[in-house]
Chain A
């Protein structure tokens, strides 16, 4: 609540600054906006910016640093005797935090007074019982050292919060004064605000980039941990995937090849379904269909893209699988054992990908200028000649991009595989056999109750890393293709 108040105060100062700054600038120009360097609103924005930016930045930093600082001080002050055998400083600190929270809540509910919470002693009062009475979660007896630490923790946090409120408000007021001082007619408010907007955009971009870097680093770090426990050559070149579920059995075989093969096989089947159908649908929609058909068919096709993949998974499991079995199974050709197979998952995934291919390709084909088609028709070409020889080549880079995007989706798809292709990691050429993919195995390795430090769990990061590298490679390849064709065609 105080935090909300603080933000409210800063914003109120900013709004006031906007109004006053605008007015001051106008007054300095004798009330005639034409005498100002910038539009009046820029002067207002400049003041608001000077109020908000420094104070909010400090607020953010404070919010991050204070808990770390307080935590380390309190934990440093914990006497060694407070840490029981078989426990650790971190566990005790968690206890301290919980107690402090409990005290806070008890005070907020009016069960304890603030002084009580601050001064009481575990040996005089039954703190544990009182906290329990107040409905707080207390896992073990609150001892005196823990209570002391919790009290210190509360005190430091309270002081910190007050100091933060004061500093932030002062900064906001300082910014207000600074901005107002600048608000006179020759000040280049527009340029300053433009700089501010630019900085904001750069900040947003850096956050996006830094997050990516962070994710990749965490992947790399955990993958490294995994390779400390499991030899990398067995991971990359092993042809068997059979993790032992007991966890530390040491008998796990974690070869990625069968998983990669399954991923590849299912993706190829999916693309073999999605690319021709999607592309032809796109050509029909953009070149042949009348506006009425287009207006109905395009959104309908895009509905396919909105269906959650778990629904596709159900469709694979309950409809497509049994249907395939009735044709290729024992009753029919006898080459399919059960409904879960590469073919089932591939077909359904292909259906899921159709709208990706068709919708993107349709937009790209539509973007080919009419003048290009006219040129071809003007030379006596038919519609299909024009499409084949002028429109599609011109749209090719985009279409390749669309296909590769669909391929990335196929490689990353999980739900359909889990339900449609089964969980058996197998190296086989028969598309009617059950296989599984990298993503499906990541899920099954992490959803068990294996210890997160065991190779059986850490392998998920190595799998994820491999997948990431493959998709990245695919995207770079897509860019390369697109660029190459663009050079040729522009």
Chain B
């Protein structure tokens, strides 16, 4: 299915490229969902994926941490390199990969556990905390970064599934941040948030950028413009245009990009 690449030495020039995808094709059964996409995602930057609904943003995002492996009918072809290493290589353990490339899903999916256990789940699995006090610190820090600490600090033992939709979304952000991933993939993380929480999450994204690289899918042009340095525009499974955010929003090359950001398609 997947053609093994023949990169033997570490990739040469681009030291600050975190993820590099070349010729990626994704099929769901017979549906061709992603068509020949090339993208270089830089380290310590925020990359935004925009595009009309159903164009394949989530699908492509899920390729980056091999979440598509869990879908039986999904096939991925092409090369995706993380720090120069092929993530679809046989030797790569998808479990370790996902610890490095964290993900916030489009639909909030808190575990049916307490708020505390939701956040502590990743750190416990990866042994990030030496003791209970350590874990408490991680949980508090993550909840603060997810802009939800004040709302839940008095009910950490309450079930995470009992939170409102927007709170669940922030809980999932906090949960993903708690494992300290190198790359954070966020699929519409603010779709259910009010302007204040949105601003807090955007602040978090900006803060994460200092150490990590962040990929965010969004339907809000303003948000893409505000938080990202690079923007990729997808349309019908094709990557139409990929460039600096300022360039995409002021001077797009492709007419489809222009019509989309000015609200004519999608």
Contact = CB atoms under 8 A, between A and B. Distances in A.
Contacts of A443: none
Interface stretch (A234-242, A278-286, A364-372, A445-453): A364-372
Given A376-B121, A379-B176, 4 more contacts: A371-B109, A380-B98, A393-B112, A394-B112
Interface of B: 65, 67, 70, 72, 94-100, 102-103, 105, 107, 109-113, 121-122, 125-126, 159, 161-162, 172, 175-176, 179
Contacts of A489: 112-113, 159, 161
A116 interface: no
A325 to B, nearest CB: 48
Given A380-B96, A380-B179, A393-B112, A374 B121 contact: no
A490 B65 contact: no
Interface of A is mostly: helix
A490 B112 CA distance: 7
B111 A380 contact: no
> Which 8 pairs across A and B sit closest by C-beta, in order of nearness?
A380-B99, A489-B112, A371-B109, A378-B103, A375-B109, A379-B122, A380-B98, A394-B112
Contacts of B175: 375, 379
B113 A380 contact: no
Given A372-B109, A393-B113, A490-B161, A379 B70 contact: no
A393 B94 CA distance: 24
Nearest to B100: A380
A375 B172 contact: yes
Nearest to B125: A381
A374 B102 contact: no
Given A389-B121, A490-B161, A378 B112 contact: no
18 contacts: A369-B109, A372-B111, A373-B70, A374-B105, A375-B105, A375-B109, A375-B110, A375-B111, A375-B172, A380-B96, A380-B97, A380-B99, A380-B122, A380-B125, A380-B126, A381-B125, A488-B112, A490-B161
A374 to B, nearest CB: 6
A390 B161 CA distance: 13
A375 B98 CA distance: 11
A381 B113 CA distance: 16
Contact of B105 (A371, A389, A390, A490): A371
Contacts of A376: 111, 121
A377 interface: yes
A385 interface: yes
A382 interface: yes
Interface hub of A371, A380, A488 (most chain B Cβ within 10 A): A380
Contacts, number: 79
A292 to B, nearest CB: 12
B70 A377 contact: yes
Contacts of B125: 379-381, 385
Interface string A393-418: 11000000000000000000000000
Contact of A371 (B65, B97, B100, B107): B107
B71 to A, nearest CB: 9
Interface residues of A, number: 23
Interface of B is mostly: helix
A377 B162 CA distance: 22
Contacts of B111: 372, 375-376, 389-390, 393-394
B121 A379 contact: yes
B189 to A, nearest CB: 13
A402 to B, nearest CB: 18
A291 B72 CA distance: 10
Nearest to B179: A379
B182 to A, nearest CB: 12
Interface hub of A370, A381, A390, A394 (most chain B Cβ within 10 A): A381
A378 B126 CA distance: 13
Given A375-B109, A376-B121, A490 B159 contact: yes
Nearest to B95: A382
A189 B109 CA distance: 47
A377 B67 contact: yes
Contacts of A370: 70
A382 B159 CA distance: 23
B105 A379 contact: no
Contacts of A377: 67, 70, 94-95, 98
Contacts of B65: 378
Interface in A58-79: none
A223 to B, nearest CB: 44
Contacts of B121: 376, 379, 381, 389
A376 to B, nearest CB: 7
Contacts of A378: 65, 67, 98, 102-103, 105, 176
B109 A374 contact: yes
Nearest to B112: A489
Contact of A380 (B95, B159, B162): B95
Nearest to A382: B95
Nearest to A378: B103
Contact of A490 (B67, B70, B102, B162): B162
Contacts of A488: 112, 159
Nearest to B69: A377
A374 B62 CA distance: 11
Contacts of A393: 111-113
Interface in A150-194: none
Given A378-B176, A379-B179, A372 B70 contact: no
Contacts of B72: 291
A378 B105 CA distance: 9
Contacts of B172: 375
Contacts of A375: 105, 109-111, 172, 175
A463 B148 CA distance: 58
B72 to A, nearest CB: 8
